């Protein structure tokens, strides 16, 4: 059966499955997937007691902040949505015009670097972590309103040194990458 011909009950069951698999899917993406209006998705979420995207991100983030050893939750740039200490982590940063240069609407690099730095430090399984060396590359411009998704992965440890790769994407397009040695 096509998504368009689904009953309300079937759609809501599938909606729950989709949001369980990926709590960060937007109402717009769900609307397209089910071939219904955004308002229909919002009504379905309301009936099922599912909060809006921002609240879902916040709930996931709050569960992860308590795991971080080297930073306080408010020091992480963006919302911490996944964390496995010593292995990997992910954060989301929603930008707006306050992040950007007025003339071009391009997000200033220090915001992107700050997100990358904070997720790199957050994944370290140590009470104190600093960036010792960083090799970074800004690959594509980021514009106000873009949502940055940063993924950090510890690729190697040697003594008290952690080698961490960080990739930041906007809509599947890599905009930043960096390799850091944290001490």
- The CB-based long-range contact list for 52-55 (8 Å cut-off, 24+ gap) reads 52/27, 53/24, 53/25, 53/26, 53/27
Mean predicted confidence (pLDDT) in 157-177: 93
CATH class of segment(s) 3-50: mainly alpha
CB neighbour list of residue 149: distance below 8 Å, 6 or more residues apart: 90, 91, 92, 168, 169, 170
Q: Model confidence over 51-77: pLDDT tens digits?
A: 888 777 777 666 666 677 667 667 889
Task: Please report where in the chains the tokens 């008290």 appear, as a residue.
Answer: 160
The pTM of the full predicted model, rounded to 2 decimals, is 0.68
Please state which CATH number belongs to domain 59-182: 3.10.129.10
- Crossing angle of the two packed helices 27-34 and 38-48, in degrees rounded to 10: 110
Q: What is the pLDDT of residues 22-62, one digit of tens each?
A: 777 888 889 999 999 999 999 999 898 888 887 777 776 66
Q: Per residue in 110-164, pLDDT tens? A: 999 999 999 999 888 777 777 888 899 999 999 999 999 999 999 999 888 889 9
**Boundaries of every domain in the chain:** 3-50, 59-182
Q: Which residues pair with 92 in a beta bridge?
A: 79, 149
Q: CA–CA separation, 5 vs 73, rounded Å?
A: 44
């Amino acid at each position: 059966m096509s998504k368009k011909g689904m009953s309300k009950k079937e759609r809501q069951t599938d909606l729950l499955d989709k949001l369980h698999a990926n709590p960060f899917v937007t109402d717009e993406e769900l609307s397209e997937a089910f071939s219904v209006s955004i308002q229909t998705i919002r009504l379905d979420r309301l009936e099922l007691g599912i909060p809006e995207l921002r609240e879902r991100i916040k709930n996931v983030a709050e569960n992860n902040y308590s795991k971080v050893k080297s930073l306080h939750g408010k020091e992480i740039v963006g919302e911490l949505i996944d964390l496995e200490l010593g292995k990997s982590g992910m954060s989301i940063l929603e930008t707006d015009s306050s992040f950007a240069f007025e003339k071009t609407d391009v997000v200033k690099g220090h915001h992107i670097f700050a997100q990358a730095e904070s997720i790199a430090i957050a994944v370290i399984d140590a009470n104190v972590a600093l960036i010792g060396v960083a090799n970074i590359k800004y690959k594509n411009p980021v514009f106000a309103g873009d949502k940055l998704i940063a993924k950090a992965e510890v690729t190697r440890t040697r003594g008290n040194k952690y080698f961490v790769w960080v990739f930041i994407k906007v809509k599947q397009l890599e905009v930043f990458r960096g390799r850091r040695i944290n001490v």
